Amino acid sequence: MTTLNRHGVDVPMLAGLGVVALAAAVMSFASLQQLGERAGFPPVLAALLPLAIDAKAVVATRAWLSRRTPDRARRYACGLALAAVALSVAGNAGEHAMTAYALATPWWVVVTVSAIPPIALAATAHLAVLLAAGSIEAADSDTDQVDPIESATSTDQPITSVSVGTPVTEPKAPTEVDRPSDQQESTSTRVKDSHAGSGPARRSIEELRQELTAAIESDSVEIDATSAESIRKTLRCSPARARQLRDEYPRLHAIA
């Protein structure tokens, strides 16, 4: 007899997991709260100790198992989750041992428990920084891989695409790609790639190097290889790729 609902979810299994998780969380919460009271925290504040430990474990585990977490943050989250689980196990075991055998709380237990909140805060904040840095790096990488589509100028003049071999006039003066302070805009013809019908295609940096070399060697294409703006307009690539090709121009010119 199947126990799956119409969405393919095993309801009894999920219910069992919920019962186990709830029971374990309540029992662990009570033990860690008592441990906090042993360390000298007031009863109200002692209830925050299990939250600091268990919440850190949940956050770190979620970041560890998420597909969107960068590798560096994933490794840190894995270590943080395992450390939080080990700390929770040690706290529960120590509290029950001292209660069962009526032992006095050692001084090192008081010191260790008192150090948990600031350490948990610092570790969780560091994980948040790693996740934010990974998101920024992923966004920058996506921006460099996609060639932006240049919009028409304020005069609504159309931009004409031509094939390689047609003379192309490019401004020789540096523009906003070479010097961000200069806010000049210009319209010019550009080289059309093989996928012009469906918009700019993603090209690797090696393909862009080959196109730049071909454009430099061509007598019919006017391109200033020392100008990132000229390279960008001719090859229809992103500003970041244009600056990279401009910096590599002396080596490409020597090979050519």
Among 76, 46, 45, 78, smallest CA distance to 61 is for: 78
Mean pLDDT, residues 189-201: 44
My answer on whether 16 and 137 are in the same domain is: yes
Q: Which residue has the higher pLDDT, 7 or 98?
A: 98
Please say if the pLDDT value at position 105 is more than 70. Answer: yes
CA distance linking residue 144 with residue 55, whole number of Å: 37
Q: Convert the pLDDT of each residue in 15-47 to its tens digit.
A: 899 999 899 999 999 999 999 999 999 999 999
Q: Output DSSP code: residue 152.
A: P
Quote the tokens at residue 69: 């977490």
Structural domain contains residue 6: no
Q: Which residues, other chains included, contact 241 with Cβ-Cβ below 8 Å and sequence gap of 6+?
A: 144, 147, 205, 208, 232
Q: What percent of the chain has pLDDT over 90?
A: 43
Q: Give the pLDDT of residue 144.
A: 52
CA 251 from chain centre, in angstroms, equals 33
- Domain with 35 in it: 11-145
Q: Which residues, other chains included, contact 222 with Cβ-Cβ below 8 Å and sequence gap of 6+?
A: 167, 168, 169, 170
- Contact of 11 with 5, CB cutoff 8 Å: yes
| Confidence bin at 192 (pLDDT 50/70/90) | very low
Q: Among 15-29, 96-110, 125-139, which is the least confidently predicted range?
A: 125-139
Boundary-marking domain end, from 88, 119, 145: 145
- Contact of 64 with 78, CB cutoff 8 Å: yes
Structural domain contains residue 1: no
Mean pLDDT, residues 144-172: 47
| Confidence bin at 161 (pLDDT 50/70/90) | very low
CA distance linking residue 5 with residue 10, whole number of Å: 7
My answer on whether 120 and 171 are in the same domain is: no
Mean pLDDT, residues 147-151: 47
Q: Give the pLDDT of residue 136.
A: 79
My answer on whether 33 and 126 are in the same domain is: yes
Mean pLDDT, residues 43-54: 93
Please say if the pLDDT value at position 56 is more than 60. Answer: yes
Q: What is the mean pLDDT of the chain?
A: 78
Boundary-marking domain end, from 100, 115, 145: 145
Mean pLDDT, residues 60-79: 93
| Confidence bin at 174 (pLDDT 50/70/90) | low
- Contact of 179 with 227, CB cutoff 8 Å: no
Residue where the block lists tokens 């560890």: 64
My answer on whether 46 and 137 are in the same domain is: yes
My answer on whether 165 and 141 are in the same domain is: no
- Contact of 209 with 227, CB cutoff 8 Å: no
My answer on whether 140 and 176 are in the same domain is: no
DSSP annotation string for 90-115: HHHHHHHHHHHTTPPPPHHHHHHHHH
Mean pLDDT, residues 201-218: 82
Task: Report the phi/psi class of residue 216: left, alpha or beta, with left for phi > 0 and alpha for psi in -120 to 50.
Answer: alpha
Q: Output DSSP code: residue 157.
A: P
